[in-house]
Amino acid sequence: MYDMKALYEAGSVDEAVALRVAHPDAQIIAGGSDVLVQMREGKRAGAELISIYGIDALRGVSQEADGTLRIGSLTSFSHITKDPLIQQYINVLGEAVDQVGGPQIRNIGTIGGNTCNGVTSADSASTLFAWDAIVELTGPDGVRRQPIHDFYLKAGKVDLHPGEIQTAILIPKESYENTFGHYIKYAMRNAMDIATLGTSVNVRLSADKKTVERTRIAFGVAGPVPLRAATAEQTANGQPVSQELAEAFSQAVKADINPRDSWRASRDFRMHIAVESAKRAFIESVRLAGGEL
């Protein structure tokens, strides 16, 4: 039994926006795997809810005319994992969200909910950061697109304006073309867990597979919001593929990340795991891209 004041159900994006305008204090609910847990804990006791879960137009993965991958915000984790476009162009995202919770959560949880929560541990977030994803937001003034990096404001807070809902996550062609990535979720158990540290790396190699043209790396739980490791990326970009490069790349992440001490894990431990994970994820990404080291 949940302590809720009202539930408004939107049948379309327009209806959702209208409900958002009419009930500015209401909480958006999609799959409910986070919101209902918080309500049960009494954190949102007496809340009004706007459910967008019935808006089928926000489900599914498609490719736009310019090649951009469009992931509807209500697409469930399990649908993302099994989607052919995802598997072809950004398989690592499917692998990352396949590590969320358990099967039931992956069937109900959505990528829009995962990102709108604004938590650093979200399994989709580090990969979306590493692939320069764009967040599409629809509000009373129309549609706006924002790099995911700017969407995350601080822990638990995203840049969702009054009246807006998130309608899609976009991956530009320039981001995914000829690019291969690997995600390492470091958690205390192999299922039903949140990440102690999430590490997502992707690389684009030169045609002869000998040089790193571009590498990108993002972490979850290495700071209050997901973050990119710019020093590490600069260390690897343009360099010849080698074990030494993997080592230098992984050591360089120390300059970029700032994990905290908490009862869940110490800063030193997270730093250590970040370096090791960066190395392993880099090596695996290079291997997936056809490189040898």
Partner 1 sequence: MPKNVGKSVARVDAFEKATGRAKYMDDLCDRSALIVKILHSTIAHGYVKSVDTAEAETIPGVVKVLTCFDVPDIKFPTAGHPWSMDPHHQDVADRMLLNRHVRYYGDEVAVVIAEDEVAAAQGVRALKVEYEELPFVLDPQKSMEEGVPQIHEDCPHNVLAHTDIRRGDYQKAIQEPGLIRVEGWYDTPTVQHCHIENHGCFAYEEAGRVVVVSSTQIPHIVRRVVGQALGISWGKVRLLKPYIGGGFGNKQDALYEPLCAWCSTQVGGRLVKLECSREETFVSNRVRHAIRTHIISWLRPDGTFVARKFEAFSNQGAYASHGHGVVAKGMGAFPQLYPCDNLECDAYSVFTNTPASGAMRGYGIPQAMFAGESHIDDVCRALNMDPVAFRRKNLMPMGYVDGFSKNELYADTFNQCMNKGMETIDFVRKYKEYQNQTGPVRRGVGVAVFWYNTAVWPIALESSSCRMVLNQDGSLQFQTGETEIGQGCDTAYSQMVADAVGIPFEDVHVISTQDTDITPYGTGAYASRQTYIGGFSIMQTAKALRERILNIAHEQTRMPVSNLDLVDGQIIRISDGRVLKSLGDLAMESLYSMEHSQHITAETTAQIKTNAYSFGCSFAEVEVDIPMCKVKLVNMVNVHDCGTLINPALAEAQVHGGMSMAIGFGLSEQLLFDEKTGKPLNNNLLDYKLSTFLDHPDLQAEFVENAEPTSPYGTKALGEPPACSGAPAIRNAIAQATGVYVRRIPITPHVLYAEFRKAGLIED
With CB under 8 A as the rule, give the number of residues binding partner 1.
26
Tell me which of 146, 223, 269, 288 binds partner 1, using CB under 8 A.
269
The answer to whether 264 touches 196, Cβ cutoff 8 Å, is yes
Contact characters 53-92, partner 1, x per CB under 8 A:
----------------------------------------
Choice between 8 and 186, CB closer to partner 1? 186
Closest separation between CB of residue 190 and partner 1, Å? 4
Choice between 20 and 279, CB closer to partner 1? 279
Query: Residue 83 corresponds to which tokens in the numbers above?
Result: 């989607």
Q: Which residues pair with 166 in a beta bridge?
A: 137
Tell me which of 9, 48, 159, 276 binds partner 1, using CB under 8 A.
276
Q: Which stretch binds partner 1 (CB under 8 A): 70-78, 226-234, 240-248, 261-269?
A: 261-269
193 part of the interface to partner 1, by CB under 8 A: yes
**Rounded-to-integer distance, Cα 114 and Cα 76, Å:** 10
Choice between 73 and 196, CB closer to partner 1? 196
139-144 CB contacts, 8 Å cutoff, 24+ apart: 139/17, 139/20, 139/163, 139/164, 139/165, 140/17, 140/21, 143/167
Pairing mode, strands 47-51 and 4-9: parallel
Contact characters 150-189, partner 1, x per CB under 8 A:
------------------------------------x-xx
Choice between 42 and 142, CB closer to partner 1? 42
Closest separation between CB of residue 274 and partner 1, Å? 11
275 part of the interface to partner 1, by CB under 8 A: yes
2 part of the interface to partner 1, by CB under 8 A: yes
Which residues sit at the interface with partner 1, rule CB under 8 A?
Answer: 1-3, 42, 45, 102, 186, 188-194, 196, 263-266, 268-269, 271-273, 275-276
